Structure 1
Amino acid sequence: MKLLQQGKKEQEMTKREGAMREESEEEKWVHDESVDYKGKVPLRSSTGVWKASLFVLTIEFSERVSYFGLAANLITYLTKVIHEDLKTATKNVNYWVGTTTLMPLIGGFFADAYTGRFPMVLFSAFVYIMGLILLTMSQFIPSLKPCNINICHKSTKVHEVIFFLALYCISLGTGGYKPCLESFGADQFDDDHSEERKKKMSFFNWWNFALCFAMLLGATVIVYIEENVSWGVAALVLTILMALTIIAFYVGKPFYRYRRPEGNPLKPIFQVIVAAIRKRNLSCPSNPALLYEVPMSEKSQGRLLSHTSQHRFLDKAAIVEDKHVEQKNNPWTLTTVTTVEETKLVLNLIPIWLSSLTAGVCVAQGSTLFVKQAASMNLKISHNFTVPAASISSAAAIGTLICVPIYDKIIVPILRRVTGNERGISILQRIGIGQTFSVMVMIVAAIVEAKRLRMVPNSNTMSVSWLIPQYMILGFADSFSLVGLQEYFYDQVPDSMRSLGMALYLSVIGVGSFLSSFIIIVVDHVTEKNGNSWIGKDINSSHLDRYYWMLAIINALNLCVYLLLAKNYTYKNVQRREMEHGGRKSDELEMVP
């Protein structure tokens, strides 16, 4: 009897050991539809996570140094070198920033649908560096220089053509860079592995940390070179830095995890809408289990989403009729629950995107009117050193560099224990905190500008250090709103649209810049009728304090609308297969907040 019991125990132990070996073997590989550079299932230990994303961060860092080195001081170049007035220069900066942040919608779409993210990044790198080379040539080749003499009151037409061609070539390159790099970096973490999923949440924080460090270098070192050495030397430095990081990015190729493009990501959305319209006369079943879905074991790509109660009309696209055999072969008449839910996700993005545009308007002030404020103030730090006006924007980067590590390493762990949420607080709550800071930015900016204007008649010049608080608060706002928007537009879009999702995040800043230009035009048109325009030809004849108060009110009203949207928002409901502690758990549902 004892021998029999001992034999059973040995059999059970053998089974357990076998199961553990199978689980350990399963843990070695990444099963999230990604592949390695040879097109095979990636080995977890040698691909992805931080070892791969650091290569991605490197090339993104150099691109952001270039962007901020140009964007932070562009209004100064347009007014002092090309000799544009304040309104024209501000609109040109906003148009360029807007175009640069809207081009990713095109690049993100083609990456998701046809090329994949890695090839799109390489193509965009070539276009981007061509723009930097053109910019460098416009400063060194005599026939392309701004002036034929050292001092002139108007730049040559050929220089303006080459200069703006270089700028918009950089915009075109950014169209593939920005949406693909960040989503490609996030792809290096497995959503079905609990430890990697937590690292992905930190990835967005540290991504923004690296971006702000790049902004700090761009707004200080590069701007200093532009102001005190030459724009040509600055452009040459940026070109060399970009070339080196492109090489480094390509060297990291064996460490990456790649996602294959899944075709036009917008097509399934149109199929759901068409199928729902065709079945508009049908009634949705009370039991969602009666709706059509492909079993997880039969699904070749992507994850399954569980049914949610919102936008019930779209559920009709998944109703199975008597002729369901023919329907299953025609996605324009019958779609799965997952496809319906992905369409609902896209519809949910629209109000959040619209209510986030005011954050983009606030960001636009940091590289335009805030810089002109700084230029009119006392820029001397000591008798021997004068800080460039554009470099004061580095205070925003410093604010973010302070805020992100504190939030990621101290606040999030505490909130995780308090709320039980993996993120500490939900994504939309984080964005809401950022929007609250945006209101504070405009209030502080209005108070400081009013004080500066009162000192102008007495020929007193306010110290530029007065602008530090509004820039610091802008950095805090970015730490919450912009990082939150990055995570939101990556996480809450369908898996097949993640590059396009990052492009939608960038479009918040792009449309915000265009919206800022539109507001300036409207405000100038309305206020100049009284002969006292809020935005005049120069900073001292303007009333930017009133303009900032108006933006503060707009942001406050928008925040109220946003809070209502966030309160009623339904997050992505994923059927996740959890991988943890070397084993694979059973399928389970998880709402992703």
Structure 2
Amino acid sequence: MKESNVVDVDIETTTTGLDIPLLNNFVDGAVDYKNRQAIRSISGFWRSAIFIISVEVAERFAYFGVSSNLITYLTGPLGQSTATAAENVNVWLGTASLLPLVGGFIADGFLGRFRTIIMASLLYILALGMLALTTLIPSKCETLGGATSCSPHFQVIMFFMSLYLVAFAQGCHKPCVLAFGADQFDASDPHECTAKSSFFNWWYFGMCIGPMVGIFVLSYIQEYLSWGLGFGIPCAVMGLALVIFLLGTMTYRFPKKTEDKSAFVRIGQVFVEAARNWRTTQSTVSLEEQACETFTRQGSQQFRFLNKALLSPDGSNESGPVCSIDEVEEAKSVLRLIPIWASCLAYSTVSSQQTTLFTKQGATMDRSIGPNFEIPAATLQSFIGLSIVILIPIYDTILVPLMRSVTKKPFGITMLQRIGTGIFISIVLMVVSALVESKRLKTATEYGLIDDPGAVIPMKIWWLLPQYVLVGAADVFAIVGMQEFFYDQVPSELRSIGLALYLSVSGVGNFLSSFLISTVVKITARDGEDGWISDNMNQGHVDYFYYLLAGISAVAFVIYLYAANSYVYNQRRACDVAK
């Protein structure tokens, strides 16, 4: 046996105690920071994931430190109305959630995930620094007839420029960090594949630690100490996050570059060739049969119009097709995601209320703790993170093993079943929110406070706690499920794009929420009367709006059940037995 020749050594084992052949200690398709083949025992896995999860904790602290109390800054120092501020917040949140599509494209098509994360972090630090500086610029507001109005000026322009720069930076950062973290687990190894599913749970656990601390601490600093300090602390935290990320460089696994056509080109070519051959009269049945016999693919019967990409330009299959069967199946796998994506939009529309109308509800209620302390209304958003922090370990260590024993599936329930459970919880969430709001309005009426927009309703803010806890419970199922689903069900080269697609669900949902609020205001606020959503929350009927969202979510849930039932999973993972 040659001691120095790895190829000839097929019976030696590693020193990891796992009795794995030495050849299996190398990770196929991955290299280390020096572009050498990655070694399983010293790279990737949890040793790398810890660094990346820590970075996400810091990034979410910074992001939610800005977004959670944004409506208070807009209606306070910037003097915007409640409806205008809610629309601006929703548009910004929507844009921030759509920009990951741009970030994912930059990472998967050009820079790679690692370089994109570094670029985005530097941009993030710059944007947060600018945001803090804009709060030091004097504002120019006028009070006429008891109403405060602020005209557009340098401070407002610079504030929104900085705010949207933050959105772009996180749009490049978030999908790449999550995809890069999941890349540290080898899907071809059963042990690492199972750990990857747990990674998504603990990733979201870390994601919620950051917002929970950020919302609780920064909302207090912003309202009672200084908005400049409240925006400046996230800037410093992002600087620390970049340092932590770079410290883990020597442990990371990087996807190995290939000489093949990029996934963008392959998938795009399938659609182009299918469109070019759409008038071809020759039947493609024989081609489908060949695909099924050769590759035994379950999904070959779906989206059969793409099978025309298998024909050669002259309309036959004798001279050789431009696209291969693998490439057609790859295109189909991307197309199958669209119905699932669309049916999840109502869920994100419901979730967007937590940073807008939920906060405005809380601002009208009794927020006192003891005789001398009053919590900011946005503080209750930290209970979303707290409920997730409690529920994630319960789900991963108790519920999954319990469901595994019942369903005989490796992860207890499928990814789509997990998402569906979260959507159902969101319907319950809206009904509970509507009932609590009805109680708040009834209390305001009983005490004669409906005409006083600044009045404190003698009803403790803790009445809102159940709806915040339900938001967290829904996220444990729906959000984590979507993260894993959109990462796992796209070609490996497009995983940043896949996760950006999941993030865009939230973005479009925020735009839909903004559109719904605007439409409801126009329809319900007629003849000078206050509509459902009013600056005076006591004269509005937000409870009706919540019931409307519950109805929309129920319809979307039925559509989702149909889409999920007809979905065909891509079987790629070593730990998949019955996904």
Length-normalised TM-score, structure 1? 0.87
Amino acid at match of 1:563: L
- Residue 357 (str. 1) matches residue 345 (str. 2): yes
Of 326, 344, 353, the residue aligned with 1:338 is 326
1:317–1:389: structure 2 CA closer, same or farther, 3 Å change rule?
Answer: same
Residue range with higher mean Cα deviation, 509-518 or 564-573: 564-573
- Residue 50 (str. 1) matches residue 41 (str. 2): no
Of 111, 121, 126, the residue aligned with 1:125 is 121
Of 521, 525, 541, the residue aligned with 2:522 is 525
- Residue 136 (str. 1) matches residue 132 (str. 2): yes
1:447–1:292: structure 2 CA closer, same or farther, 3 Å change rule?
Answer: closer
Is contact 1:435–1:477 with CA below 8 Å preserved after alignment?
A: yes
Structure 2: 5+ residue runs without aligned partners? 1-7, 14-19, 450-456
1:189–1:326: structure 2 CA closer, same or farther, 3 Å change rule?
Answer: same
Corresponding residue number in structure 2 for 1:475: 472
Structure 1: 5+ residue runs without aligned partners? 1-16, 296-303, 328-332, 581-589
**What is the alpha-carbon distance in structure 1 between the residues aligned to residue 108 and residue 565 of structure 2?**
31
1:260–1:133: structure 2 CA closer, same or farther, 3 Å change rule?
Answer: farther
Corresponding residue number in structure 1 for 2:223: 227
**What is the alpha-carbon distance in structure 2 between the residues aligned to residue 261 and residue 124 of structure 1?**
22
Is contact 2:79–2:149 with CA below 8 Å preserved after alignment?
A: yes
Q: Does the residue aligned with 2:348 lie in a helix, a strand or coil?
A: helix
Amino acid at match of 1:290: Q
**What is the alpha-carbon distance in structure 1 between the residues aligned to residue 78 and residue 294 of structure 2?**
61
Q: Does the residue aligned with 1:573 lie in a helix, a strand or coil?
A: coil
**What is the alpha-carbon distance in structure 2 between the residues aligned to residue 371 and residue 124 of structure 1?**
30
Aligned residues: 546
* Residue-by-residue CA offset, 1:162-212 (whole Å, 9 max, x unaligned): 211111110110121011010010000000000100110001111111111
Q: Does the residue aligned with 2:80 lie in a helix, a strand or coil?
A: coil
User: CA shift at 1:308, angstroms?
Assistant: 3.2
1:422–1:591: structure 2 CA closer, same or farther, 3 Å change rule?
Answer: closer
Q: Does the residue aligned with 1:82 lie in a helix, a strand or coil?
A: coil
Of 565, 568, 575, the residue aligned with 1:567 is 565
Corresponding residue number in structure 2 for 1:391: 379
Amino acid at match of 2:284: C
User: Structure 2 matches for 1:94-113, cutoff 5 A?
Assistant: 94-113=90-109
Of 44, 56, 63, the residue aligned with 2:59 is 63
User: CA shift at 1:323, angstroms?
Assistant: 7.6
1:89–1:322: structure 2 CA closer, same or farther, 3 Å change rule?
Answer: closer
**What is the alpha-carbon distance in structure 2 between the residues aligned to residue 139 and residue 311 of structure 1?**
53
Is contact 2:125–2:236 with CA below 8 Å preserved after alignment?
A: no
Is contact 2:311–2:317 with CA below 8 Å preserved after alignment?
A: no
User: Structure 2 matches for 1:113-192, cutoff 5 A?
Assistant: 113-140=109-136, 144-146=137-139, 153=148, 157-192=153-188
- Residue 446 (str. 1) matches residue 434 (str. 2): yes
User: Structure 2 matches for 1:416-427, cutoff 5 A?
Assistant: 416-427=404-415
1:355–1:324: structure 2 CA closer, same or farther, 3 Å change rule?
Answer: closer
Of 417, 424, 440, the residue aligned with 1:429 is 417
Q: Does the residue aligned with 2:301 lie in a helix, a strand or coil?
A: coil
1:249–1:316: structure 2 CA closer, same or farther, 3 Å change rule?
Answer: same
Is contact 2:80–2:150 with CA below 8 Å preserved after alignment?
A: no
User: CA shift at 1:266, angstroms?
Assistant: 3.1
**What is the alpha-carbon distance in structure 1 between the residues aligned to residue 85 and residue 141 of structure 2?**
22
User: CA shift at 1:281, angstroms?
Assistant: 2.4
* Residue-by-residue CA offset, 1:333-379 (whole Å, 9 max, x unaligned): 43222211111111111111110001111111000000000001000
User: CA shift at 1:434, angstroms?
Assistant: 0.1
User: CA shift at 1:411, angstroms?
Assistant: 0.6
**What is the alpha-carbon distance in structure 2 between the residues aligned to residue 355 and residue 257 of structure 1?**
34
Q: Does the residue aligned with 1:461 lie in a helix, a strand or coil?
A: strand
Is contact 1:106–1:175 with CA below 8 Å preserved after alignment?
A: yes
Amino acid at match of 1:272: V
* Residue-by-residue CA offset, 1:562-591 (whole Å, 9 max, x unaligned): 1111111111133x6x5x9xxxxxxxxx67
1:518–1:222: structure 2 CA closer, same or farther, 3 Å change rule?
Answer: same
User: CA shift at 1:147, angstroms?
Assistant: 6.1
1:479–1:292: structure 2 CA closer, same or farther, 3 Å change rule?
Answer: closer
Corresponding residue number in structure 1 for 2:544: 546
Is contact 1:305–1:572 with CA below 8 Å preserved after alignment?
A: no
1:322–1:101: structure 2 CA closer, same or farther, 3 Å change rule?
Answer: closer
Amino acid at match of 1:511: V
User: CA shift at 1:527, angstroms?
Assistant: 1.1
- Residue 244 (str. 1) matches residue 240 (str. 2): yes
Identical pairs, percent: 39
* Residue-by-residue CA offset, 1:485-522 (whole Å, 9 max, x unaligned): 11111011122211001111111111100100000111
Is contact 2:9–2:22 with CA below 8 Å preserved after alignment?
A: no
**What is the alpha-carbon distance in structure 2 between the residues aligned to residue 224 and residue 506 of structure 1?**
28
Corresponding residue number in structure 1 for 2:5: none
Of 205, 208, 213, the residue aligned with 2:209 is 213
Is contact 1:34–1:257 with CA below 8 Å preserved after alignment?
A: yes
**What is the alpha-carbon distance in structure 1 between the residues aligned to residue 121 and residue 294 of structure 2?**
40
1:435–1:377: structure 2 CA closer, same or farther, 3 Å change rule?
Answer: same
* Residue-by-residue CA offset, 1:457-487 (whole Å, 9 max, x unaligned): 3144211000000010011001101111111
Corresponding residue number in structure 2 for 1:10: none
Of 501, 504, 511, the residue aligned with 1:504 is 501
User: CA shift at 1:270, angstroms?
Assistant: 2.6
**What is the alpha-carbon distance in structure 2 between the residues aligned to residue 450 and residue 406 of structure 1?**
33
Corresponding residue number in structure 2 for 1:466: 463
**What is the alpha-carbon distance in structure 1 between the residues aligned to residue 134 and residue 291 of structure 2?**
62
* Residue-by-residue CA offset, 1:248-288 (whole Å, 9 max, x unaligned): 11121111111256765333223212333427423234575
Corresponding residue number in structure 1 for 2:3: none
Is contact 1:527–1:533 with CA below 8 Å preserved after alignment?
A: yes
Amino acid at match of 1:318: L
Is contact 2:282–2:315 with CA below 8 Å preserved after alignment?
A: no
Corresponding residue number in structure 2 for 1:308: 300
User: CA shift at 1:384, angstroms?
Assistant: 2.1
Corresponding residue number in structure 2 for 1:586: none
Q: Does the residue aligned with 2:571 lie in a helix, a strand or coil?
A: strand
**What is the alpha-carbon distance in structure 1 between the residues aligned to residue 515 and residue 487 of structure 2?**
29
**What is the alpha-carbon distance in structure 1 between the residues aligned to residue 281 and residue 501 of structure 2?**
34
Residue range with higher mean Cα deviation, 259-268 or 90-99: 259-268
**What is the alpha-carbon distance in structure 2 between the residues aligned to residue 538 and residue 305 of structure 1?**
59
Is contact 2:65–2:211 with CA below 8 Å preserved after alignment?
A: yes
